[in-house]
Amino acid sequence: MRLDGVSKRYPPTVRSGERMRAFWQLLWRGQAQGGTSVLEDVSFDIIPGESLGIIGSNGAGKSTLLKVITGVLEPTRGEIQKRGSVAALLELGAGFDPEYTGFDNLRMNAAFLGLSRAQVEERLDDILSFADIGDSIHEPVKHYSSGMVVRLGFAVVASVRPDLLITDEVLAVGDESFQKKCIRWIEGYLADGGTMMMVSHNMYQVQKLCRHALWLEAGRVARYGDVFDVTQSYLAWHERKHARQESPAHGRNENAPYRIDRMVLSPANDGSTVVAMGGRLDVRLELSSPDERPPVAVVGVVRADGTPIYGVGTDHDGVEPVEIAPGRYAIEISFSDLPLLPGGYAARAHALDSEGLRMHDTVEETFTVTGKTREVGLVRLKHEWRRP
């Protein structure tokens, strides 16, 4: 499947005059002016056997993208090329008639997905076994819990085994045992060459089931590529955004007698610092002092939300910054074999007086750690598994 420049814009409909104007523009021009853009110039390819996770904040356009791909919505611009059968689990209960029984809805949905009556009869026991909702299959769907609706919908899709499976966060509704059953089925489906697109806020699940990821933000593609690179960039961005909202910024004190004039992190890449897990981070500081005594420098590493991870000062290790000009000093520190797990972090530096008693200035620079791992936490601890 290929998407080329796909965009979706809803015409203005708040006032009756806007609705009429949009109607005539659609009638004569085929496109309304103004309105709200929910997708903008989205392009990507997904090849047979591929698994793609679609991530992003609420309102980023993820569900709209899936609806456009499945034909529920028409794109305003762009082209979508699809081959093979497609089955989608989108909004909870979509495609089910609440007045009909689960059994009737099972038959109707299976028919919509291309199964003949004979094929439904042949696979009926497997479908009922997968759904595992007992005698409730003979009750109207309007009496079902959200978990029962997901069970029935996924069971029908599992019986069809489409060329392309599309899911939109529906597994988050089912209970844990059913989620495990669905994940085992998806793993087998992918191992047999199936193709999948899934929307999820569960980054661990996306990393486990998908090879690539698409990060949408405000309807645009923020990043697309390897699942670990994209999800880790997204999590780092989210942590920094949350930290800015929740934590006060570390302001500069331009009048401080002991100041940090410059802080440089390396390796640098296009204006940002990216370090591979287990790699090396270098920090260079240039400081000012009001007298001939070198200041004390403290350098630490914090998580994006400000949680301290490690810190050390020049006075702790018995070193002093080197004078590079009258009243100006420099010092460098290297963190080799960085044990941080992938995510967003910051190097935070403080300038203290020569006695190391009072903090005068603070500077912070962000960096990102990357790597292909599903380990959780802040640091990688050396470990060894043994079977007793």
* Phi, then psi, of 381 in degrees rounded to 5: -100, 135
Q: What is the pLDDT of residue 174?
A: 63
**Is 62's pLDDT higher than 90?**
yes
For the segment 141-172, what is each residue's pLDDT rounded down to a tens digit? 999 988 888 888 888 888 888 899 998 876 66
Contact 160, 113 (CB under 8 A): yes
Q: How confident is the model at residue 23 (pLDDT cuts 50, 70, 90)?
A: low
Domain with CATH 3.40.50.300 in the chain: 2-240
CA distance 56 to 37: 16
Classify domain 259-370 at the CATH class level.
mainly beta
CATH 2.60.40.2550-classified regions of the chain: 259-370
Q: What are phi and psi of 68, to 5 degrees?
A: -65, -40
Region of poorest pLDDT, from 102-116, 161-175, 291-305: 161-175
33 has pLDDT over 80: no
Please give the Cα distance from 350 to 358 (Å, whole number): 10
**Considering only 11-20, 135-144, 229-238, which range has the smallest mean pLDDT?**
11-20
d(CA 314, CA 296): 6
Question: What pLDDT was estimated at residue 339?
Answer: 92
Instruction: Tell me what the pLDDT averaged over the chain comes to.
Output: 86
Per-residue confidence (pLDDT) for residue 180, from 0 to 100: 80
pTM: 0.70
Helix (H, G, I), strand (E, B) or coil at 304: coil
Quote the pLDDT of residue 94. 66
Percent of the chain residues topping a pLDDT of 90: 46
* Model pLDDT, residue 306: 78
**Residues in a beta bridge with 368:** 274, 344
CA dist 8 to 20, 66, 167, Å?
20, 12, 20
CATH of domain 2-240: 3.40.50.300
Are the CB atoms for 178 and 155 separated by under 8 Å? no
